[in-house]
Amino acid sequence: MPEFPSVEWFKTAADLLNKSDSFKRLGTCDAEMGVQVDNKYYEVDFEAFEPLVSARGVILFHDSIRIRPTRIYGEDKVYEHRVRDFIDELRRDARFQVCDLPFGDGLTLVRKPASPETLFARPS
C-alpha cells in the first residue's frame, strides 16, 4: 500500500473498495460526503458511491466553487483545488440536480431528480 496521505494511497484504496464484494452488498445510502484529494479521485469516489445513493440521497462536495492553489501537501508541493471542473461536468448531466452553497470555498449538493411520491414514500 502506498504511503498515506497521497494520491496513490487514495487511488489504491478506491480500487480495493470498488472490487470488494462487501462494498457491493451495501445496498443504498441516503448521504455521502467525499474526501477531496484531486478531482480525478472525486470521480472515483463518485462513480463508486453514486449507484448506491437513494432517491432521497444527497452527495456533498466541498471546495467546489472556485479553483485555488494550496500547499496542503507541503511548501514545495503546490496543489490546485479543481473540484469545480467536476461539478461543471455534473451540471451538464441530466441525471443530476446540482446546487451550490456559498460557504467558504463552496459546498455543492448533488442529487438525483425524484418525484414527490418517491421522496415522501415511507421507507419499507
| pLDDT tens figures, 93-116 | 998 999 999 888 889 999 888 877
**List of domains in the chain:** 31-113 (3.40.50.150)
Grid cell in block for residue 16: 480495493
DSSP-derived letter for residue 77 is: -
Count of CB atoms situated within 10 Å of the CB of 7: 14
Whole-model pTM above 0.85?
no
Q: Could you report the per-residue pLDDT of 76-88, keeping only the tens digit for each?
A: 888 787 888 889 9
